[in-house]
Amino acid sequence: MFHFSLPAEAGRWAFRLSAVSAVTAALVLSGCSRQEAVQEPVRAVKVLTVGGSDLNLQGEYSAEVRARVESRLGFRVGGKLVQRQAEVGQRVSAGQALAQIDAQDYQLGAQAAVAQVAAAQTQRDLAGSDFKRYESLKAQNFISGAELERRETTLKAAEAALTQAKAQAQAQANQAAYTRLNATAQGVVTAVEAEIGQVVSAGQPVVRLAHDGPRDAVFSVSEQAVLVFKVGQEMQAQLGSTGQGFKGRVREVGASADPVTRTYLVKLALEKAEQWPLGATVNVLAGHLPGSQAAAIKLPTSALRQDGAATAVWVLDEASMTVRSQTVQIGPIDGNQVVIASGLKAGQKVVSAGVHVLTAGQKVSEYGANAKPAAPAVANAAQR
């Protein structure tokens, strides 16, 4: 008798095929129900076209009234500050005491110098008496001429030592006098830079004194505008508190820029302004300035963003309608705009608002353009 196992093998193969089909069907159904990735939306942004424009040379400059001569007074010797009579805003006259340092050591030195003068005086008197005696003896031929010459030399040396001692005594007396700080002219104390108990060195500023007399209006101008200010140029100004107008002439133009602000200091000599308070605000009218300036690229502050340690803007690539980051160097502020020193060229389009929500390479559309922005592509696949 023969036994056949073919039907059993066929059953096992049928079961395997059935399992594979079920897995394949599950994968197909899973693939049909999966959604595609959502693309980043196209943002509408405001852009402006970069172009050159003139700097504002027809506006006003805010200036401060300062004394034409302002001295920073300090002691000519060092020591501990024990007294200070000067206060900020105090009016002082020439020669008035402003401060005092401890003078004890200098007084002792002066006393020692006086004692040296007395000793030198005694030696000179003794040498003088000896010379007179030997001169009398020489007249009687009791001594030689050489001996008399030696006594004369001794007298001259004693006289020189006395002169030296007197000079040193005067110097020590001056040192003691330098322990008192006096006003060099009539004026107003504008600053105090040392306090009682502080040890100050020779020449260290202690009091700042603004001398009475002519006044200047001091203000700063940008690198682009400094070239139009000339010494002797007449300008109009107004007192900020009262609006009173007056004339002035440019007295000084800074030779170098401030290392921090990159601006130049201009001093305008004011006419009949002696009675005005120091520090008062003056509006200098800078209209009708002669000369012309090269066009400058200016952007609103809303177009700038911080990119690490640098300042950057978003530049629009019109071919792909994407934005890219461009590092720029900023210059002085002109009104409500910032001058771009380098990094941009005329004709480029720059995003002027919403710069903090963009990323490099992001698709954008121009806000307010005729073309409608493309809708974000979000497609859902139908589930099978």
**Selection from 20-24, 240-244, 286-290 with the highest mean pLDDT:** 240-244
Residue 218's contacts (CB-CB under 8 Å, 6 or more residues apart) are: 63, 64, 66, 265, 266, 267, 268
Let me know whether 331 and 315 are in one domain: yes
Q: What are phi and psi of 103, to 5 degrees?
A: -105, 5
Q: What are phi and psi of 194, to 5 degrees?
A: -155, 150
Let me know whether 250 and 352 are in one domain: no
Least confident stretch, 39-48, 302-311, 342-351? 39-48
Cα→Cα distances 267→192, 217, 243, Å: 24, 6, 20
d(CA 290, CA 227): 10
Would 29 be classed as within a structural domain? no
Question: How many alpha carbons lie under 13 Å from residue 143 in its C-beta half-sphere?
Answer: 16
Q: Among 285, 305, 324, which residue terminates a domain?
A: 285
Let me know whether 196 and 79 are in one domain: yes
Let me know whether 350 and 337 are in one domain: yes
Let me know whether 218 and 278 are in one domain: yes
In this prediction, residue 265 carries a pLDDT of 93
On the question of pLDDT at 381 being above 50, the answer is no
Would 22 be classed as within a structural domain? no
Q: What is the DSSP letter of 38?
A: P
pLDDT band for position 374 (cuts 50, 70, 90): very low
Would 233 be classed as within a structural domain? yes
SS3 300: strand
Let me know whether 173 and 195 are in one domain: no
Let me know whether 355 and 308 are in one domain: yes
- Here the CATH number for the domain that contains residue 202 is 2.40.50.100
Cα→Cα distances 328→266, 315, 361, Å: 28, 11, 18
SS3 110: helix
Average pLDDT over residues 127-154: 90
Using the CB atoms, write b or e for 65-84: b if 16+ within 10 Å: bbbbebbebbbebebebeeb
On the question of pLDDT at 55 being above 80, the answer is no
Task: Specify whether the CB–CB gap between 40 and 266 falls below 8 A.
Answer: no
pLDDT tens per residue, range 25-35: 554 455 554 55
Task: Compute how many other C-beta atoms are within 10 angstroms of the C-beta atom of residue 299.
Answer: 19
In this prediction, residue 184 carries a pLDDT of 92
- Here the CATH number for the domain that contains residue 152 is 1.10.287
In this prediction, residue 253 carries a pLDDT of 93
Name residue 210's beta-bridge partners.
70, 188
pLDDT tens per residue, range 187-233: 999 999 999 999 999 999 999 999 998 889 999 988 878 888 889 98
pLDDT tens per residue, range 293-316: 455 788 888 888 888 888 899 998
d(CA 149, CA 135): 9
Would 243 be classed as within a structural domain? yes
In this prediction, residue 373 carries a pLDDT of 40
pLDDT tens per residue, range 159-196: 999 999 999 999 999 999 999 999 999 999 999 999 99
**Rg, Å, the chain Cα set:** 45
- Amino acid identity, residue 165? A
Q: What is the DSSP letter of 285?
A: E
d(CA 163, CA 169): 10
Q: What is the length of the chain?
A: 384
SS3 229: coil
Q: Bigger pLDDT: 210 or 272?
A: 210
d(CA 139, CA 137): 5
pLDDT averaged over every residue in the chain: 81
Let me know whether 77 and 196 are in one domain: yes
H-helix or E-strand spanning residue 165: helix 145-177
Task: Specify whether the CB–CB gap between 215 and 65 falls below 8 A.
Answer: yes
Let me know whether 205 and 77 are in one domain: yes
Structural domain harbouring 77 = 73-95+179-209
Name residue 296's beta-bridge partners.
53
In this prediction, residue 2 carries a pLDDT of 43
In this prediction, residue 375 carries a pLDDT of 38
Q: pTM for the complete prediction?
A: 0.54
Residue in 217, 301, 313, 200 with CA at minimum distance from that of residue 265: 217
d(CA 152, CA 166): 21
Let me know whether 267 and 279 are in one domain: yes
Would 85 be classed as within a structural domain? yes
Let me know whether 227 and 268 are in one domain: yes
Task: Specify whether the CB–CB gap between 117 and 163 falls below 8 A.
Answer: no
pLDDT band for position 6 (cuts 50, 70, 90): very low
pLDDT tens per residue, range 102-124: 999 999 999 999 999 999 999 99
In this prediction, residue 382 carries a pLDDT of 35
- Here the CATH number for the domain that contains residue 270 is 2.40.30.170
Q: Bigger pLDDT: 238 or 368?
A: 238
Would 23 be classed as within a structural domain? no
d(CA 306, CA 326): 11
Tokens of 62: 């805010």
- Here the CATH number for the domain that contains residue 326 is 2.40.420.20
In this prediction, residue 82 carries a pLDDT of 95
On the question of pLDDT at 23 being above 80, the answer is no
Residue with tokens 């963009």: 358
Residue 199's contacts (CB-CB under 8 Å, 6 or more residues apart) are: 78, 79, 80, 81
Would 9 be classed as within a structural domain? no
Domain count for the chain, please give it.
4
In this prediction, residue 126 carries a pLDDT of 93
Let me know whether 89 and 184 are in one domain: yes
Would 354 be classed as within a structural domain? yes
d(CA 107, CA 113): 10
